[in-house]
A = this chain, B = another copy of it.
Amino acid sequence: MPNEPLKVAICGASGYAGAELMRILSGHPEVEVVSVTSERSSGKSPVELYPHLNKYAYLSYEPLAPDILAEKADFFFMALPHKTSQPAVALLYKEGKKVVDLSADFRLSDPLVYERWYKTPHNHREVLRKAVYGLPELHRAKIKKTGLVANPGCYPTGAILGIYPALKSGLASPEGIIVDSKSGASGAGRQADIRFSFCEVNEGFRAYSVASHRHTPEIEQELSAIAKKKVTINFTPHLLPVNRGILSTIYLKTAKKTSTENALGVYKKAYRSEPFIRVLDPGALPDISAVRGTNRCDMAIKLDERTQTLIVITAIDNLVKGAAGQAVHNMNIMMGFPEETGLDQPAVFP
């Protein structure tokens, strides 16, 4: 006899991450989406905003009312803007609900770092202390036991996964790390803004938030924990004229003599049991188009022998492994579902 489905609510479900949660959960056999919230689209059906979500014709967006929602659902995906997420997450968590928060509000364990980069106070520090940074490949054991997961940012996901084995193994130095990332336009969210209008993005390419992007401290927090010392990095995001995908090109100085084969061995070993990481064989290089719509992270490692630089390239779908897919992966771990449940479909290519 099948179990009763888990009752799930998605708060902030009118944006792309929320819509992607709906898409993924529509194929998840253990879950029933019972509520979706949106202030601006309150009263509308998700199908009005997203014609592809016709399976959700039975739902209407509701305004965010955490206490009412707490009666309806047992598991919460929070896809609200940062700052707005703080009190809603805190309330639901204190009610004993399980929560995956896709905002930045519970990612940085040091509230002062949060306040410096996000320019807003953190008013729920006691809840922050309970949150686990939800990168399963690094923190699976803790995720299993927590009631609150801070789902990683899209850029940090691709960056940290690309650096972790080299740093952990001592192959790479924690000094002078450079992360040069390129993201599709859905990373900017669903918004009316001339800078993200079709004609301004299409056939263009540009960097933005140079030396100032808010995902920087998040990457540094995790790398520092791995290296067991304070790590400071260069991170440069760019806007790609595609809908989805982040490719990160990472430059690591070697800490000891190595080779491409040796480095590859370290990465393959580190990720050998990971269902969503694929370390490519020598010669192959990742393309964002091969992970589109999936929770996979493809990566390649190559040593530039002339400069003793390890070049790691990672590709993810920013809306899936970089947001909604990783959130569902975290839910699967928290709830004891098989980790790939709902997340095992191949990319739609071309």
Given contacts A210-B311, A309-B234, contact A205 B245 (CB under 8 A): yes
Query: In the complex the two chains form, is B247's CB within 8 Å of A238's CB?
Result: yes
Q: Which B residue's beta carbon lies closest to that of A280? A: B51
**Chain A positions 29 through 61: 1 when the CB is less than 8 Å from some CB of chain B, otherwise 0:** 000000000000000000000111111000000
A176 to chain B, nearest CB (A): 7
Residues of B within 8 Å of A240, CB to CB, are 205, 240-241
Query: In the complex the two chains form, is B291's CB within 8 Å of A234's CB?
Result: no
Residues of B within 8 Å of A238, CB to CB, are 182, 247, 249
Residue A306 CB within 8 A of the other chain: yes
Residue of A178, A286, A288, A298 most packed against chain B (CB within 10 A): A178
A300 to chain B, nearest CB (A): 8
Bin the interface of chain A by size.
35 or more
Residue A307 CB within 8 A of the other chain: yes
Query: In the complex the two chains form, is B288's CB within 8 Å of A205's CB?
Result: yes
A232 to chain B, nearest CB (A): 5
Query: In the complex the two chains form, is A197's CB within 8 Å of B205's CB?
Result: no
Query: In the complex the two chains form, is B304's CB within 8 Å of A234's CB?
Result: yes
Query: In the complex the two chains form, is A193's CB within 8 Å of B192's CB?
Result: yes
Question: Residues of A at under 8 Å CB distance from B?
Answer: 16, 19, 22-23, 26-27, 50-55, 176, 178, 180, 182, 185-186, 190-194, 196-208, 210-211, 232-234, 236, 238, 240-245, 247, 249, 251, 253, 278, 284-294, 298, 300, 302-307, 309, 311, 313, 315, 344-350
What are some 15 contacts across the A-B interface (CB < 8 A)? A52-B294, A52-B346, A52-B349, A178-B178, A185-B198, A192-B197, A198-B202, A198-B243, A203-B288, A205-B287, A207-B300, A211-B302, A234-B307, A236-B249, A240-B241
